[in-house]
Amino acid sequence: MNRYPVWKYFFVLILLLFGIIYALPNLYPEVPALQISSAEPDVLLTKTMKADILDALKATHLDVQASESISETQWILSFRDTDDQAAAQERIKNFLGDDSPYVVALYLMPTTPAWLSALGANSMRLGLDLRGGVHFLLAVDVESIFQRLLMSDVKNITTGLREEHIRYSSVLPMQHQDAQGLTLTCLLLTIVLKPIRFSQRIIRIINGCRLTVIIDFSLKE
């Protein structure tokens, strides 16, 4: 004997059906894609431009899995994985040039079937914590850091020599080849007084330098 009316069982079944339908989009994961759009409303993405972009990608063996035109100014290309996505973004940017009116942005393209989207069933939006966090690629400007170290050492040496009342002619960068044949950038310090009286103080000054310092004594009073 049923403990509840029949309509309640039908109601539960309908709820389960709705739950299954609106959970189905989560079985269709988003795929890496690029969104190419125009930064100016009067600049359109023509068929010729799209064909040229596809040819540029094919030349570097980057396969486009699918493409979708959102409007006359927006176009989406999907790729197999994030590596192809990043390589394609770099290739398209180089092809379009720095002064291009088009913007090439990373995008995640939904793969939900059209009939589910028509019902308003979309996949759950995952936060950064569920996507594995954020990945940063940092580039170090080695030349800028080296120049700062160089200027800092020059300043420290000249300040120390003045405080010790030691006359010098110049503190200049120079190229020096070490015993292994490697060319290094060093500092050439030219002292205009005899070294005997000031050698210990000079050594104490240059000990704090991060670059190699070569001392040239001109032996002039």
For residues 205 and 164, the answer to whether their CB atoms sit within 8 Å is yes
pLDDT at 193 over 70: no
The pLDDT of residue 191 is 66
Same domain, 110 and 10: yes
pLDDT at 221 over 50: no
pLDDT digits (tens, 9 = 90+) for 12-21: 999 999 899 8
Same domain, 51 and 146: no
pLDDT at 28 over 90: no
For residues 64 and 6, the answer to whether their CB atoms sit within 8 Å is no
pLDDT at 195 over 60: no
- Which carries the bigger pLDDT value, residue 152 or residue 88? 88
Same domain, 13 and 96: yes
Same domain, 107 and 190: no
- Which carries the bigger pLDDT value, residue 75 or residue 161? 75
The pLDDT of residue 6 is 82
Q: Which domain holds residue 153?
A: 142-217
Residue 199 banded pLDDT, cuts 50, 70, 90: low
Amino acid occupying residue 9: Y
The pLDDT of residue 16 is 93
The pLDDT of residue 184 is 64
How many domains is the chain built from? 2
- Model pTM above 0.75: no
Q: Which of 103-112, 120-129, 143-152 has the highest mean pLDDT?
A: 103-112
pLDDT at 72 over 80: yes
- Which carries the bigger pLDDT value, residue 172 or residue 152? 152
**Residue 114 forms part of a structural domain:** yes
Same domain, 114 and 146: no
* 7-11: average pLDDT: 87
Please list, in sequence order, all residues whose beta carbon lies within 8 angstroms of the beta carbon of residue 11, skipping any fewer than 6 positions away.
Answer: none
35: which strand partners? 76, 105
Q: What is the CB neighbour count within 10 angstroms for residue 36?
A: 23
Q: Six-digit token pair at 159? A: 């300040």
Lowest average pLDDT, out of 41-55, 115-129, 206-220, goes to 206-220
Question: Distances in Å between the alpha carbon of 133 and those of 28, 86, 130, 196?
Answer: 21, 17, 7, 62
Same domain, 92 and 193: no
CATH number at residue 88: 3.30.70.260
Among the three residues 64, 85, 118, which one is the final residue of a domain in this structure? 118
